[in-house]
Amino acid sequence: MTISREPIWDDAPASKLQATLRHLTTFLSSLGWAARIFIESAAYFPSTLVRRDSRTVLMSQLYVTGIRTLPVVTVVSLFTGMILALQVGLELRRFNQEMYLGAAVMVSLIREMGPFSCGMCLAACVGSAIAAELGTMKVNDEIAALEIMSISPVRYLAAPRILALIMMAPLLGFFCCVIGTMGGGIVGVTQLGVDFGQYMASAISMADTKDLFVGLLKAFVFGAVIGTVSVSEGFGTSMGATGVGKSTQRSVIVSFLLILMLGYMVTRVCYQ
């Protein structure tokens, strides 16, 4: 796959209809571009695990994706659980039902907020870095140099990054649920007068296997989407430093929007 620059329209649109059709064409072209990158990257996943050069890049990306994002993921998931526990607990207190606080927090985190928080953190911390890194390589003609040396940029650059996000997103999503539950327990004990043992018993009783699998599926999908969007935006960068900034911005915005929409779709399909 040759990484070429996106076509630039030389003439201004003559009408609103032409402008709308041009935007639609650009959108469909970008969608096909991203899908092609993901499919070709998926074909390289086995060789990424076998080849020494690709495996080295993969291990580096696993470290960046999984270890270096832990501080941000921990803080975000902790306060997500604390906010959920506080808001839900205040309403449960009105009906003297504080004993169900753990169940409410657990269900919210494992179904939706855990994978959602994980996806947002990965899009902001990892996806933006991937888009900026690959975009800089694109405008500096480093990717063109790889193609001249007959090294596939998709195999060497895209596949390890997408695979690392796919592998680490479910683990981080589960980690978000655990830390968020602990944060909810802290609020329950210190501000709502809930016994921690009762809180954890209620939470564990509602930890359904289906909910866990749905949450992990969402995190898996979010990881694939973030990796594909970030790589495709980085490979499509043009116009120097300005283009790198725009590609980074688009990668974060598009990832956020897709996380919201796909999260709803997965929930709708799994719980209809």
Q: What is the DSSP string of the chain?
A: ----PPP---SPPSSHHHHHHHHHHHHHHHHHHHHHHHHHHHHTHHHHHHSHHHHHHHHHHHIIIIITTHHHHHHHHHHHHHHHHHHHHHHHHHTT-GGGHHHHHHHHIIIIIHHHHHHHHHIIIIIHHHHHHHHHHHHTTHHHHHHHTT--HIIIIIHHHHHHHHHHHHHHHHHHHHHHHHHHHHHHHHHS---HHHHHHHHHHT--HHHHHHHHHHHHHHHHHHHHHHHHHHHT--SHHHHHHHHHHHHHHHHHHHHHHHHHHHHHHH--
The percent of residues in the chain predicted with pLDDT above 70, rounded, is 95
Of the given ranges (120-124, 129-133, 141-145, 213-217), which has the lowest mean pLDDT? Answer: 141-145
Q: Tell me the whole-structure pTM to 2 decimals.
A: 0.89
CA distance 61 to 163: 9
Distance CA 183, CA 167 (A): 25
Mean pLDDT of 7-32: 71
Instruction: Please give the mean pLDDT across all residues of the chain.
Output: 88
> Which position has the higher pLDDT, 22 or 76?
76
Confidence tier at 253 by pLDDT (50, 70, 90): very high
pLDDT band, residue 151 (cuts 50/70/90): confident
Q: Where are the domains of the chain?
A: 21-270
- What does the alpha-carbon distance between residue 250 and residue 226 come to, in Å, rounded to a whole number? 11
